Amino acid sequence: MNRTPSETRAPRMEALARLPIFLALAGKRVLIAGGGSAAAWKAELLSAAGAHVDAYALEPCEELLALAADPPGGPIRVHRRAFEPGDLDGAVIAVGAIDGEAAAAQFAAAARRARVPANIVDKPMYGDFAFGAIVNRSPLVIGVSTDGAAPIFGQAIRAKLEALIPRGFARWAEAARRWRPRMRSLPSHARRRLWERFTQAALARPNDVPSDLDALAADLDAEPSPSGSVALVGAGPGDPELLTLRAVRALQSADVILIDDLVAPEILDFARREAKKMLVGKTGHGPSCRQDEINALMVSLANAGRRVVRLKGGDPMIFGRAGEEIAACRAAGIPVEIVPGVTAAQGAASRLAFPLTHRRHARRLQYVTGHAEDGGSLPELDWASIVDPSTTTAVYMPRRTLRALAASALTHGIDPATPVVAVAEATRPGETVVHGTIADIAARLEADSPVGPMLVMIGRLLGESASEVARGTARSDPVGQPGATTGSGSGSAARG
């Protein structure tokens, strides 16, 4: 059954415990009630953001007084008296570093009456907003919040980010701020591409900010090319964490994304929100768009100056009809890039901790398709390689033909006890695994009826003694003979 390409919506954003907002406080008045170390830390933070801080405390600590004498940014004024509700006049936010539940509730109520958002230190149930853990590469600033549930966990995440994000990013972000006014006169697509070049340079040499940004903008005044491009991007078997960094960059720079049905919806969380997303529906044994229609759509979008990502499950170069799409792009003179992905066999093997090769027991790994061009019959296969006990075979899309494939393998001499593992929805939350042998796997799958994209792996390393083989302690006898490392095939479906 054919269908036409159709636009699809990105997944809705899930519920947020807190909305992260970055306030511009330079020159604005903020109020702090309290004079202890917590009040001093908040005063330092708010002053660093440029705020004019008024702190009210009968007995301010030495740390707070020292900050008032030498503030990091905006001025800090310490008033040696208790806070009064009238002090809230003119404040844009208020912070209560207050002991006691009753006093905290009274401060929060006064702030709400004055319509001033309030934060109550260590008492999030009374406040309107919370301070998160901060990674400061200003003007690049990252906030981390656990909604008050686990502040130490938030601090640990901040420490991880501190280690990951180079200090030099602060200078790159400052350079971007200086450079931004020069970009406003450019068309939007040229501006985005120039920012992409800027970003690539920053990621490549984070601590080497050029003093002259003209080197990065040599073509700032050049006429931008109207032609677009196509990237064939592997989305992997389903787990979004298996995306490559290159795939993420392609998704974040795309104007249009053409999506296969087999792509996990969570993958689109990495895409640019402004990108147009179109479902082109290439899925086994179901309604699909014609390949020539996909080719024509891809080329026409690129000819219109769009950056097109053709998003495919697994790896685009493995049973993904990439050859036809590459040929269509080249025939139209469209630049085409290939972004490899984790193919289903690799994803399934990693989840199951099954090695696919071994220097003694499995010297060859092969990927074969489970169906011919018509989608329903068995393809021409090299049966000698499939029955070879030193080979691990991964069969893609064999749902309709597995019984015929197993029967033919048995006819060509494969040992009936050869272990087989079938995996549906590999690496996804609904992953289903069925263990068996080449003699009974078809019956087991028919009984368990797992849903989703299917992969079947055949080979001696897939038995219950696979870990023993991986350690090199198993014998090298032929599969099915005494001392062989075959599995019993007694495992039934197990959901991941």
- Residue entry with tokens 């809705």: 12
| Domain finish residue from 327, 342, 357 | 342
| Structural Rg of the chain based on CA atoms | 30
* Kind plus residue range of the DSSP H or E element containing 473: none
Does 223 map to a domain?
Answer: no
pLDDT band at 462 (very low <50, low <70, confident <90, very high): confident
**φ, ψ at 34 (rounded to 5°):** 130, 155
Does 7 map to a domain?
Answer: no
pLDDT band at 132 (very low <50, low <70, confident <90, very high): confident
Separation CA 87–CA 89 (nearest Å): 5
What average pLDDT is seen over the chain? 85
Asked if 472 and 416 sit in the same domain, the reply is yes
Separation CA 425–CA 290 (nearest Å): 24
**CATH number for the domain that contains residue 60:** 3.40.50.720
pLDDT at 413 over 90: yes
* For residues 336-355, average pLDDT: 93
pLDDT of residue 370: 87
Does 10 map to a domain?
Answer: no
Asked if 74 and 204 sit in the same domain, the reply is no
* For residues 33-61, average pLDDT: 96
pLDDT of residue 298: 94
Q: Which domain holds residue 183?
A: 169-215
User: DSSP letter string over 160-224?
Assistant: HHHHHS-TTHHHHHHHHHHHHHHHTTS-HHHHHHHHHHHHHHHHH-TT---S-GGGTTTTTTSPP
Tell me, letter by letter, the H, E, C secondary structure of 143-176.
EECCCCCCHHHHHHHHHHHHHHCCCCHHHHHHHH
The residues facing 215 across adjacent strands are none
| Domain finish residue from 296, 316, 342 | 342
Higher-pLDDT residue of 378 and 186 is 378
Residues 481/369, Cβ–Cβ less than 8 Å = no
pLDDT at 171 over 80: yes
pLDDT of residue 175: 85
Asked if 90 and 182 sit in the same domain, the reply is no
Asked if 367 and 462 sit in the same domain, the reply is yes
Q: Which of 186, 210, 185 is nearest to 198 (CA)?
A: 210
Asked if 238 and 291 sit in the same domain, the reply is yes
**CATH number for the domain that contains residue 329:** 3.40.1010.10
Higher-pLDDT residue of 256 and 4 is 256
Structural domains of the chain, count: 4
pLDDT at 127 over 70: yes
Asked if 469 and 367 sit in the same domain, the reply is yes
Asked if 78 and 125 sit in the same domain, the reply is yes
Residues 371/398, Cβ–Cβ less than 8 Å = yes
On the CB side of 5, CA atoms within 13 Å amount to: 20
Asked if 176 and 252 sit in the same domain, the reply is no
Does 68 map to a domain?
Answer: yes
Q: Which of 70, 105, 113 is nearest to 88 (CA)?
A: 113
The CA–CA distances, whole Å, from 82 to 55, 58, 94, 107 equal: 10, 6, 14, 12
Does 13 map to a domain?
Answer: no
279 Cβ contact list (under 8 Å, min separation 6):
5, 6, 7, 8, 259, 261
**CATH number for the domain that contains residue 377:** 3.30.950.10
Does 222 map to a domain?
Answer: no
Separation CA 227–CA 325 (nearest Å): 17
Asked if 278 and 182 sit in the same domain, the reply is no
Does 377 map to a domain?
Answer: yes
pLDDT at 301 over 90: yes
Which residues are the active-site residues? 260, 282
Does 3 map to a domain?
Answer: no
pLDDT of residue 261: 84
Asked if 369 and 484 sit in the same domain, the reply is yes
pLDDT band at 488 (very low <50, low <70, confident <90, very high): very low
pLDDT at 164 over 80: no
pLDDT of residue 160: 83
pLDDT band at 473 (very low <50, low <70, confident <90, very high): very low
pLDDT of residue 159: 86
| Domain finish residue from 342, 367, 395 | 342
Asked if 336 and 356 sit in the same domain, the reply is no
Asked if 333 and 349 sit in the same domain, the reply is no
